[in-house]
Amino acid sequence: MVFRRGFLPGIGNLLAFEATARHGSVSRAAAELNLTQSAVSRQIQHLEESLGVSLFSRSRQRVVLTDVGRMYAANVRAMLADLSTATHQAIALSGTHGVLNLAVLPTFGTRWLIPRMPEFFTLHPGVTVNFGVRLVPFDFGTDPFDAAIHFGQPHWPGAICERLRDEEVVPVCSPAYRRRENIGSPSDLTRATLLQQSTRPTAWAEWFASCGVEGSNPLRGPRFEQFAMVAQAAVSGLGAALVPHFLIADELASGRLEILFPQSLVSDGAYYLVYPETKAEAPLVRSFRDWILAKTRMG
């Protein structure tokens, strides 16, 4: 986009307008901006003259946004917020050797990826990785990410999907819950509280079928949006859960959770590293791809 100077108001005029619109008062805007009331009034007047519209209706000491003013204020406020964010990011990245903006699944990010990131930073000193959360595929053209961790099928328009690992879920609960409910066989789970993961609604039905257990309502039980919440609920003794084995290594090692039975369930989907085709040869994307593919092969 080509910006014409005559169509871009001065930042001081926009700040004066936004503050006055937010406070509904020239005097309070002036106090916030550390200016005189007359200076703020002049800046707003200059802005209105450059736009050719009235942004406020004035009555004695009060200023009220016009319809155009309300629309313009919302857009200016969003623009100033974006400008502030961009400025802070530019300052924060001073002296870095590249930035990777990565969208992750919350539990995968916190329980598997982030604990392993020190190794990546050791291999690539000075690199900055920014983490965001996305649960479903998005448009790389409009969202500010270079790559993403995705679970499901390798279908993402305009992007390359690199398979990282399968998902094997295992039945777990806390030792105290197992003793309290006297769980000794898969059929005993038909009377247990089943902790449900919202994005895997058929998991318990598939697991019971694989064990040949019938006569149960596998959809009953409280639902949670993230595996981290399911795992914590199981640790807290709220019920039994089906959780990916690799995401609960710490809980299993510490004894806070135990695997109930050897029967596991391999999900239809898998974890993928996804990045747009246009960034396939970007050095930092390639470095992260090579590193995470090697790490997932190790387990």
Q: Any bridge partners for residue 149, and if so which?
A: 273
* Verdict on whether the full-model pTM lies above 0.75: no
CATH number for the domain whose boundaries are 167-268: 3.40.190.10
State the residue for tokens 């924060």.
92
The contacts of residue 185 (CB under 8 Å, 6+ apart) are: 261
What are the pLDDT tens digits along the chain (299 aa)? 444 555 688 899 999 999 999 998 999 999 999 999 999 999 999 999 988 899 999 876 678 999 999 999 999 999 998 888 777 766 655 555 688 999 999 999 999 999 999 999 999 988 889 999 999 999 998 888 999 999 999 999 999 999 999 999 999 999 999 999 999 999 999 999 999 999 899 999 999 999 999 877 899 999 999 999 999 999 999 999 999 999 999 999 999 999 999 999 998 899 999 999 999 988 899 999 999 999 998 76
Task: Count other Cβ atoms within 10 Å, centred on residue 260.
Answer: 22
**Beta strand 99-104 with 128-133: parallel, antiparallel or unpaired?**
parallel
Tell me, what's the pLDDT at 186?
95
Whether domain 5-92 has CATH 1.10.10.10: yes
Whether domain 99-165+270-298 has CATH 3.40.190.10: yes
Task: Count other Cβ atoms within 10 Å, centred on residue 127.
Answer: 16
Spatial contact of 246 and 165, defined as CB atoms under 8 Å apart: yes
Return the amino acid letter for 181.
E
Tell me, what's the pLDDT at 2?
45
Per CATH, 99-165+270-298 and 167-268 having the same topology is answered yes
Q: Any bridge partners for residue 173, and if so which?
A: 258
d(CA 6, CA 41): 21
Spatial contact of 183 and 171, defined as CB atoms under 8 Å apart: no
All structural domains of the chain with their residue ranges = 5-92, 99-165+270-298, 167-268
